[in-house]
Chains A and B, each alone.
Chain A
């Protein structure tokens, strides 16, 4: 069996060594079903929009669904590596899923471009995580922006409520540190479940602490429930949300009750309001239009994270192709090095500047301060 596979790969190797057949294989793992499908569906839908030809190389994408299950992500990544011999992998969608597959990507020496929220996939940097690149803003970047806005508006105390998952936990940690540096106190820290039918109790606890503002950290539409509950309980302070709430559905579900909310997210929410000078504007508009043409709806930001991974690969593949043939360890290693060298590359989420220490690579051009005004996302100048 082993021998057969060896022969087969040797034959394939000879076949594919011709320039006409030169092909880069990229595996895409997304959670297009299961609890985090709202993240995975726009990601899967972005695959057909990604570049299929880079120089004289064709890029083949192999999309797989992990059903939001971390075990299935591991199976998918093993399949991509051993059966498809991929040169790079984009995905998976969820933070726990990504944490689970890092060691397999590192062992096989395949660059992993993870469109996940948690910074834990690239920080602290080590021998395994050097194979991972993250195409989302680090929580730290967003937290600093929010804390900056709070400090500017004289907010001294903040109540925190986050989802009880890695996203909420990491936010609790990052935000508390960031706020502490500016002298802002976190006076209450609560958790809730995505599936909770009521957060009345947590809301009461927050109300009792009488904070100047409340920060809600939850991925996707569950972020609406605590805000509506607090609004109904008569909380009059300012509401802050994270980039997890940056969805059109947030406005639809929240209605009048989320008016005035402040959040920091990528420019994709306020494309029509950012200036032409922003390097990401045109790329993001082209992406949104192409997506809308193909699928009939506007993409959520999560789709842009995967699309950016495609753009990063597009820039890195020609550099790596000079050092090895696609499908070989030399190519994959060169691809990793090339990704790490990415400098000033604009994409839909902002501008990437990778370095050996920073595999997320965003600066303040990767986030905008946004508020809800008149039921629409509005840029805070």
Chain B
């Protein structure tokens, strides 16, 4: 194999690995804070990409109605106790976030000349539509069973995943979409031409990882999340609301998912069910990090990306098998080297 080809494969692996790294971080984060194995993570990738594609086609994205619908549901669930507690101020807050905001976004996308907006504004709108579904989902699906065993949370995740895939088919149809690249520029690095989109993906991933690190190290909310991840009961005794921690986590997870979708939409065709496999590879990476370690998960993601790239070169028919088989030696190694702790129920 020539050196140049190896370089191109490495570059391809890094591009995919960067996306897997983002998703792996989100999966680790969600698991650490809420003990949820967040299978619907991939759906946010597809929702983000396809919502952007719809915006760019100049049609009002159908996902906005899901946002409104979820908002109404949350308002009912949260509004009734707020009303009973006799504090109308709280009701105002609930309605503000869950009724006014979705309707505002809906009004915005139906009024604005979507097609002629700058690309950055389209991306921002797509994120504004998709990301709030994360916390909404936590409120409706996971918060009522927040203290259930991991297995129950996993089963609920599977149900949420299937529901979102079905809704995705309803919203976006069965056909895939691509969006135009953010820039057509490319960079010549020795014998290699790196497309602008690749640079963009890597840059955004690195920025996001650094930003997340800063968020966890320096801000009060970040520290609160870390505290919850370390010891749920202890954090609660210190006055950290588990519901707030959960919503914040899901907000971050949905943001990372939708952003990943926006990033990959120009380099591949995204279908309503594409997200699942991408997130599954992120999951393999998260497993390498033991669902606990962020740096190990990121390294694992790069490893998955490289393995995928090289195995599609040598044995393209068995690529998926090779990538997912990686999980077996990793699990063996982890179970042999780490002390097993039974989950208390």
Q: Does A253 contact B (CB under 8 A)?
A: yes
Q: Which among A194, A196, A201, A224 has the greatest number of chain B C-beta atoms within 10 A?
A: A201
Q: Which among A35, A190, A204, A232 has the greatest number of chain B C-beta atoms within 10 A?
A: A204
The answer to whether A193 touches B320 (Cβ under 8 A) is yes
The answer to whether B317 touches A195 (Cβ under 8 A) is no
Interface string of B171-190 (1 = CB under 8 A from A): 00111111000000000000
CA distance A302 to B327 in the complex (A): 39
Q: Does B271 contact A (CB under 8 A)?
A: yes
The answer to whether B174 touches A37 (Cβ under 8 A) is yes
Q: Does B5 contact A (CB under 8 A)?
A: yes
What 3 pairs across the A-B complex have the smallest Cβ distances?
A38-B174, A37-B174, A201-B313
Chain A: which residue is nearest B313 at the CB level? A201
The answer to whether A221 touches B176 (Cβ under 8 A) is yes
Q: Does B90 contact A (CB under 8 A)?
A: no
**Among B5, B173, B178, B317, which residue has its beta carbon within 8 angstroms of that of A191?**
B317
- Nearest CB of B to A177, in Å: 19
Q: Does A245 contact B (CB under 8 A)?
A: no
- Nearest CB of B to A363, in Å: 31
- Nearest CB of A to B194, in Å: 12
Q: Does A14 contact B (CB under 8 A)?
A: no
Binds A, one of B113-121, B140-148, B229-237, B262-270: B262-270
Q: Find chain B residues with CB under 8 A from A41 CB.
A: 173-174
Q: 20 other contacts beyond A38-B173, A194-B271, A196-B312, with CB at 8 A cut-off?
A: A33-B169, A37-B174, A38-B174, A38-B175, A41-B173, A192-B319, A193-B320, A195-B278, A196-B268, A198-B16, A198-B309, A199-B312, A201-B309, A202-B313, A204-B9, A208-B5, A222-B176, A222-B269, A225-B269, A249-B176
Q: Find chain B residues with CB under 8 A from A328 CB.
A: none
CA distance A202 to B12 in the complex (A): 11
Q: Find chain B residues with CB under 8 A from A192 CB.
A: 312, 316, 319
The answer to whether B269 touches A224 (Cβ under 8 A) is yes
The answer to whether A195 touches B274 (Cβ under 8 A) is yes
CA distance A201 to B175 in the complex (A): 25
The answer to whether A201 touches B310 (Cβ under 8 A) is yes
Q: Does B43 contact A (CB under 8 A)?
A: no
Q: Which among A38, A164, A195, A249 has the greatest number of chain B C-beta atoms within 10 A?
A: A195
Chain A: which residue is nearest B275 at the CB level? A195
Q: Find chain A residues with CB under 8 A from B313 CB.
A: 201-202, 204-205
Q: Does B19 contact A (CB under 8 A)?
A: yes
Interface string of A20-42 (1 = CB under 8 A from B): 00000000000001110110110
- Nearest CB of A to B177, in Å: 8
- Nearest CB of B to A368, in Å: 23
CA distance A38 to B169 in the complex (A): 10
CA distance A224 to B175 in the complex (A): 12
Chain B: which residue is nearest A207 at the CB level? B5
Q: Find chain A residues with CB under 8 A from B174 CB.
A: 37-38, 40-41
Q: Does B166 contact A (CB under 8 A)?
A: yes
Q: Does B15 contact A (CB under 8 A)?
A: yes
The answer to whether B12 touches A198 (Cβ under 8 A) is yes
Chain B: which residue is nearest A192 at the CB level? B316
Do A197 and B278 contact each other (CB < 8 Å), given the known contacts A41-B174, A191-B316?
yes
Q: Find chain B residues with CB under 8 A from A56 CB.
A: none
The answer to whether B175 touches A221 (Cβ under 8 A) is yes
Residues facing B in A240-268 (CB within 8 A) are: 247, 249, 253
What secondary structure prevails in chain B residues at the interface with A?
Answer: helix
Chain B: which residue is nearest A297 at the CB level? B173
Would you list 15 pairs from A and B whose C-beta atoms are within 8 A, ordered by A residue?
A: A37-B169, A191-B317, A192-B312, A193-B320, A197-B19, A197-B264, A197-B274, A198-B15, A198-B267, A202-B313, A204-B9, A205-B316, A221-B269, A232-B195, A247-B175
- Nearest CB of A to B318, in Å: 8
Q: Find chain A residues with CB under 8 A from B267 CB.
A: 197-198
Chain B: which residue is nearest A161 at the CB level? B316
Interface string of B275-296 (1 = CB under 8 A from A): 0111000000000000000000
Residues facing B in A330-376 (CB within 8 A) are: none
CA distance A192 to B309 in the complex (A): 12
Q: Find chain B residues with CB under 8 A from A199 CB.
A: 312
Q: Does A200 contact B (CB under 8 A)?
A: yes
B side interface size, CB within 8 A: 34
Q: Does B199 contact A (CB under 8 A)?
A: no
The answer to whether A202 touches B316 (Cβ under 8 A) is yes
A side interface size, CB within 8 A: 33
Q: Find chain B residues with CB under 8 A from A164 CB.
A: 316-317, 320
CA distance A123 to B74 in the complex (A): 56
Residues facing B in A18-68 (CB within 8 A) are: 33-35, 37-38, 40-41
- Nearest CB of A to B258, in Å: 16
The answer to whether A204 touches B268 (Cβ under 8 A) is no
Q: Find chain A residues with CB under 8 A from B317 CB.
A: 164, 191
Q: Does B164 contact A (CB under 8 A)?
A: no
Chain B: which residue is nearest A223 at the CB level? B269
CA distance A221 to B175 in the complex (A): 7
Q: Find chain B residues with CB under 8 A from A224 CB.
A: 269
Chain B: which residue is nearest A195 at the CB level? B277
CA distance A192 to B271 in the complex (A): 16
The answer to whether B169 touches A253 (Cβ under 8 A) is no
CA distance A41 to B12 in the complex (A): 35
- Nearest CB of B to A36, in Å: 8
The answer to whether B9 touches A201 (Cβ under 8 A) is yes
CA distance A253 to B265 in the complex (A): 12
CA distance A202 to B310 in the complex (A): 9
- Nearest CB of A to B181, in Å: 10
Chain B: which residue is nearest A164 at the CB level? B317
Q: Find chain B residues with CB under 8 A from A249 CB.
A: 175-176
Chain B: which residue is nearest A232 at the CB level? B195
Residues facing A in B243-270 (CB within 8 A) are: 264, 267-269
The answer to whether B12 touches A201 (Cβ under 8 A) is yes
Q: Find chain B residues with CB under 8 A from A232 CB.
A: 195
The answer to whether A201 touches B316 (Cβ under 8 A) is yes
Q: Find chain B residues with CB under 8 A from A196 CB.
A: 268, 312
The answer to whether A201 touches B269 (Cβ under 8 A) is no
- Nearest CB of A to B304, in Å: 12
The answer to whether B9 touches A200 (Cβ under 8 A) is yes
Q: Find chain A residues with CB under 8 A from B15 CB.
A: 198
Chain A: which residue is nearest B274 at the CB level? A195
Q: Find chain B residues with CB under 8 A from A35 CB.
A: 273
CA distance A34 to B276 in the complex (A): 13
The answer to whether B320 touches A197 (Cβ under 8 A) is no
- Nearest CB of A to B86, in Å: 46
**Among B166, B277, B309, which residue has its beta carbon within 8 angstroms of that of A200?**
B309
Q: Does B8 contact A (CB under 8 A)?
A: yes
